[in-house]
Every structure is written in structure tokens, then in C-alpha cells.
Structure 1
Amino acid sequence: MQVFRQATPDDAPAIARLVDEAYSPYIPRIGRKPAPMLDDYRQVVAEADVFVCARDGEVAGVLVLRLQGPVVLLENIAVAPAFKGRGIGKALLAFCEDYARARRLEAIELYTNQLMTENIALYTKLGYRETHRATEDGFARVFMRKGVVGPA
């Protein structure tokens, strides 16, 4: 059974492990650890709206959201490799859209590394549009946005 819930400080170690497992394959491609691998998840859980997808008692996915005025920044989304291909990523994105609609926000914004081309293709397929590209903290990023219309 799959359950979405707000993360607690006790989830931080499991979230950090999940993020390391999910993003490690990108290290050779981008030449360094992706930004989400550098975060302190105890701090992230304390400062952001962090949700986990728990499946059979394990943290199978994570979603990090930050409200920024009329939009929500989807700062991180990751699925544990052991749970890939089971629809958890799409369910997390749908949860994010519900979150935005419930708060009557204008849009969801996100960014991904420009070398994570499969992520860009997925977000585009799901209705996100590229707004710009920029280098931040040494990472070449693609910024995207999806409008959110109507109540949840």
C-alpha cells in the first residue's frame, strides 16, 4: 500500500539515503554530485514542505516543496531505485499539483540539470514549459513552469 504523508525529522536519514541512491547515477554524467545530494535533510524537513511516499513501510519517494508567493517551487523529487517503474514519480507530481491547487497557486516551478535530459523530456510531456536556462552554484540548470488552474 502506498501512503503520502508529511515528512518528520525522523525521516531525514531515509530521505538522504533515497536521494543518494536516486541521484548517484548522474554523478559521472555531470561530473559531480547533483545539488540534492548536498542538502542536509534534517534542515530541509524543518524549513520546507517535505512529503514522502511510503510503500510497505519504506520511504519510496520524496517531494520537497517551497512556497514562493503565488507559486510553489518543486525543489526536489526522487524515487528510490528499488521502486522505479511503479508510478511513484507520477503520483508525487500529481500530489504536487493537488498541493498547488488546494492553495490556489498560479503555477509549479522547478529546475533540473541540463544534462538530465530524460527529466526535461518527462516534465515537458507532463505539461511543463521551459522558461529559461542559467548556471547557479556551478550547476547548468533548465527552469520550467506549469500553470495550475482551478481548485483541487
Structure 2
Amino acid sequence: MTPDPFARLPHHAFSFQTRGGGGCTSRALAEPSCVCEVGPGDRTRASPDEGNYEAAVREHLIDLLEVDGMLAALVEMIPESEWLLIENLAVAPTFQRRGCARILLKRAQETALALRLKGLRLFTNKLFESNVDLYLRYGFAIDREEPFMGGITVYMSKSLTA
């Protein structure tokens, strides 16, 4: 039997907070210690002046992953007509390589299924090889690659329908 890749952190050690729809401030999204793993432009560090976080909090689905009461990671999702776009997946440096990204990918998948969507979409910078490898290991496929601002954007998706 294959071990559950999402079971790396003990379940009692983490909890989720769902944000969005105007129910919170954007402070967590602007947390300077969170390193973006996927998102527009693939910034290596999210900073408060680089995005419209107030609008994201109002308009997108955002789940925060807390580990022992500390903000460890977040996933920002945008439901589309058929797909759930993972707009941003960020893990604080002290929580990287502990399974947080995998937990949030599973959370995004559960969200897409609950919304009866076809699957997940995301895009990342080809230079972030470990991220591309992670997404491939968890069932994403590369749909296409396109040049963008001197780099290469990798568009990926994961179908959730049989």
C-alpha cells in the first residue's frame, strides 16, 4: 500500500482557516516571510506592495494553513467556469519541506471537487524545477510552456474527472 503523501504533518498539528468573501484582512497574504511557489510572475517573495491583496481577499478563496498556531502556508484559489485556478501557493521558509504544499494541494483538490469543477489549473516559472517536479508527482500534467518576461511560464492542470 502506498503511504499517504499528505500525512507528513500529524493531523493534530495543523488547522485550516478559510478566508475570502470580505471576511478578513489581507495581512496574511502580505506576510513577507511567505515564499511564493506558484503565481503570476512567480515572484520569489510576496511583498505587500506587489499585489492587490484586499481585492484577492474579497474575490478569491483563500485557505490558510496553521501549524501549532503559526501561519505556515496559504493557497489562493479562483473558481472558473470549469476549473479551479491555483493563483498562489505560498509556504513560509521555516515550514518548507514539511509537507505543507502537499496539504494545500489536497485542500485545493477537495475544493474543486466540492464545487463540481473539472480539475485544477496553475502556472509557474520553469526555473522553479522543484515546484514543477512537485506538481508532476501529484498528478499535474504540463499543458504548454510559453515565454514570459525573459523566462518560461509552465501551464499545468490536473483533471479530477474519470
User: What is the TM-score when the length of structure 2 is the normalising length?
Assistant: 0.76
Matches within 5 A, 1:1-150: 1-7=13-19, 8-10=23-25, 12-18=26-32, 21-23=34-36, 33-34=43-44, 37=47, 38-136=50-148, 140-149=152-161
Structure 1 CA distance for aligned equivalents of residues 151 and 56 of structure 2 = 20
Corresponding residue pairs, total: 142
Of Structure 1 and Structure 2, the greater helix share is in: 1
Instruction: Percent identity, please.
Output: 26
SS in 2 for 1:60: strand
- Displacement of 1:135 in angstroms is 3.7
* Cα distance in 1 for residues equivalent to 2:45 and 2:34: 13
TM-score if structure 1 supplies the norm length? 0.81
Structure 2: give runs of 5+ residues left out of the alignment. Answer: 1-12
Structure 1 window deviating more from structure 2 (90-99 vs 34-43): it is 34-43
- Which is further off, 95-104 or 134-143? 134-143
Contact 2:36–2:89, Cα closer than 8 Å, also in 1: no
1:139, distance to aligned residue in structure 2 (A) = 5.5
- Aligned-CA RMSD value: 2.5
Distance 1:42 1:81, change over 3 A: same
Asked if the contact 1:15/1:59 (under 8 Å) is kept, the reply is: no
- 1:17 CA displacement: 1.5
Cross-structure match for 1:27? none
Q: Distance in 1 between matches of 2:149 and 2:52?
A: 16
| Structure 1 CA distance for aligned equivalents of residues 52 and 150 of structure 2 | 19
Question: Alpha-carbon deviations, 1:114-141, whole Å to 9, x = none?
Answer: 1111111111111100001124566631
